[in-house]
Amino acid sequence: DAKTTQPNSMESNEEEPVHLPCNHSTISGTDYIHWYRQLPSQGPEYVIHGLTSNVNNRMASLAIAEDRKSSTLILHRATLRDAAVYYCILRPFVSLQGAQKLVFGQGTRLTINP
Amino acid sequence: EAGVTQFPSHSVIEKGQTVTLRCDPISGHDNLYWYRRVMGKEIKFLLHFVKESKQDESGMPNNRFLAERTGGTYSTLKVQPAELEDSGVYFCASSQVGTGGEKLFFGSGTQLSVL
């Protein structure tokens, strides 16, 4: 499984943007970049994913470097509810319908200050 | 739309006893995954069903763990006999069939405590 590297923890203030980095220098050309988060006492929750182009959804934006060796999850305006552990995960594309498991690392623990 | 449901939410048992965890995936999701988080450690993959077939069971710790998904709907994970190190949170997730870009939906987990 291709490995990702994330900072152990980050801190930000409420209503400010947050940029969560992820390095994945060994990414293959067919790996999707997935982001999940886990809020306290809950199961992991899908945030966003992308392949090559930047992606936006109602929760966040994903900025993917041109060489795809790094990506950044952007929370445009953090709220207290965004305090969670954020996981950056590579997941291979498979041509047949047999998608592989997600492999979780340590993730980044994001703290939001009021 | 109902999400992934896990039962029970908490279970406290004694070492040597048997426990069965249940997961009801989102209707129509052929992929079902089991994960576990032991305190202080990362979330670890246990196994993956596609419908009723085990696609990947490489993460199952040992033969005290038995997972089933009869009929390709709900799944059970039985631990028999339970040991202290089995304590942790067990998560279930489901997804539609896809090629790697589809999202997984997770349940809230079962907190298992083995005393």
How confident is the model over B41-52, as a mean pLDDT?
Answer: 93
The answer to whether B65 and B44 are in contact (CB under 8 A) is no
Give the confidence band of A42 by pLDDT, cuts at 50, 70, 90.
very high
Among residues B41, B33, B81, which one has the least CA distance to residue B60? B33
pLDDT of residue A98: 61
Contact B31 A99 (CB under 8 A): yes
The answer to whether A73 and A88 are in contact (CB under 8 A) is yes
pLDDT of residue A82: 97
CA–CA separation, B19 and B79 (whole Å): 5
CA–CA separation, A73 and A89 (whole Å): 12
CA–CA separation, B115 and B57 (whole Å): 27
How confident is the model over B65-72, as a mean pLDDT?
Answer: 93
Contact A99 B95 (CB under 8 A): yes
pLDDT digits (tens, 9 = 90+) for B87-98: 999 999 999 877
pLDDT of residue A74: 98
Q: List the beta strands (DSSP E) in A8-93.
A: 9-13, 18-23, 31-38, 45-50, 55-56, 61-64, 70-75, 84-92
pLDDT of residue B90: 98
CA distance A10 to chain B (A): 18
pLDDT digits (tens, 9 = 90+) for A74-104: 999 999 999 999 999 998 877 665 667 888 9
CA distance B5 to chain A (A): 11
Q: Which residues of A touch B55 (CB under 8 A)?
A: 98
CA–CA separation, B54 and B56 (whole Å): 6
CA distance B70 to chain A (A): 19
Q: Is B35 helix (H, G, I), strand (E, B) or coil?
A: strand
Q: Which residue of B has its CA nearest to A41?
A: B108
Contacts of A51 (CB under 8 A, 6+ apart): A32, A33, A64, A93, B101
Q: Which residues of B touch A34 (CB under 8 A)?
A: 103
